[in-house]
């Protein structure tokens, strides 16, 4: 069911600010349901994001205030990585923001093999920011909503292959 006609009717009845809030909520909910592999809980932590704080600030803002930003991530296998041939990059809006842990990368390697090493898109949340006690800014972290490796689809649609 499409909610936007219903919400436009409510626009005439309710305050405009309430309708705007509802529209934002429905758009955010819809955004994470169709194109992403994982839409469940954000249970996979991205590693190494401390090295990519500039990229995360470009995506989530300066970090002066606490942030919880829902985005799409793209997982890209990196078999040429000299430290770990199972390495999987995590990219958001074209920026490298970290990697899956070695254990997670090892667990998801068969899913990528079934997909012929094509990238996997998933929902992600960037959290962090805000001031620390000594006046500095807290670092950003990234969490992914990925299904278990055995539930990752092997089908590939060019329609959903663009980078987020």
Clarify whether residues 21 and 42 are in a common domain. Answer: no
Cα angle, residue 122 at apex, residues 106 and 35 outer, rounded to 5°? 140
Establish how many alpha carbons lie within 13 A of residue 129's alpha carbon, considering only the half-sphere containing its beta carbon. Answer: 19
132: pLDDT strictly greater than 90: no
27: pLDDT strictly greater than 60: no
Clarify whether residues 43 and 1 are in a common domain. Answer: no
157: pLDDT strictly greater than 80: no
Clarify whether residues 51 and 77 are in a common domain. Answer: yes
Clarify whether residues 3 and 48 are in a common domain. Answer: no
For the segment 85-115, what is each residue's pLDDT rounded down to a tens digit?
999 999 999 999 999 999 999 999 999 999 8
For the segment 40-86, what is each residue's pLDDT rounded down to a tens digit?
588 899 999 999 999 999 999 988 899 999 999 999 999 999 999 99
Question: Would you state the pLDDT for residue 85?
Answer: 92
Clarify whether residues 19 and 87 are in a common domain. Answer: no
User: How far is the C-alpha of 74 from the C-alpha of 89, rounded, in Å?
Assistant: 8
User: How far is the C-alpha of 35 from the C-alpha of 112, rounded, in Å?
Assistant: 17
For residue 97, CA distances in Å to 42, 49, 53, 136, 147 come to 16, 6, 8, 21, 20
21: pLDDT strictly greater than 60: no
* Residue span of the structural domain in which 13 resides: 1-31
Question: Would you state the pLDDT for residue 81?
Answer: 92
Clarify whether residues 124 and 84 are in a common domain. Answer: yes
- Total tally of structural domains belonging to the chain: 2
Would you say 142 and 92 are in contact if contact means Cβ atoms under 8 Å apart? yes
Clarify whether residues 129 and 89 are in a common domain. Answer: yes
Clarify whether residues 51 and 109 are in a common domain. Answer: yes
């Amino acid at each position: 069911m499409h909610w936007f006609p219903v919400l436009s009717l409510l626009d005439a009845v309710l305050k405009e600010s309430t309708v705007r809030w509802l529209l934002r909520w429905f758009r955010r909910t819809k955004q994470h349901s169709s194109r992403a592999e994982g839409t469940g809980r954000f249970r996979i932590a991205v590693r190494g994001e401390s090295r990519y704080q500039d990229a995360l600030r470009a995506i989530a803002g300066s970090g002066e205030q606490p942030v919880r930003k829902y985005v799409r991530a793209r997982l890209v296998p990196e078999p040429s990585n000299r430290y770990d041939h199972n390495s999987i990059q995590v990219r958001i809006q074209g920026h490298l923001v970290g990697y899956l842990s070695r254990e997670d990368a090892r667990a998801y390697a068969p899913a990528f093999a079934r997909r012929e090493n094509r990238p996997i898109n998933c929902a992600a949340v960037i959290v962090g920011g805000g001031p620390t006690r000594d006046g500095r800014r807290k670092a950003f972290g990234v969490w992914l909503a990925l299904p278990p490796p055995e539930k990752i689809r092997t089908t590939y649609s060019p329609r959903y292959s663009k980078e987020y």
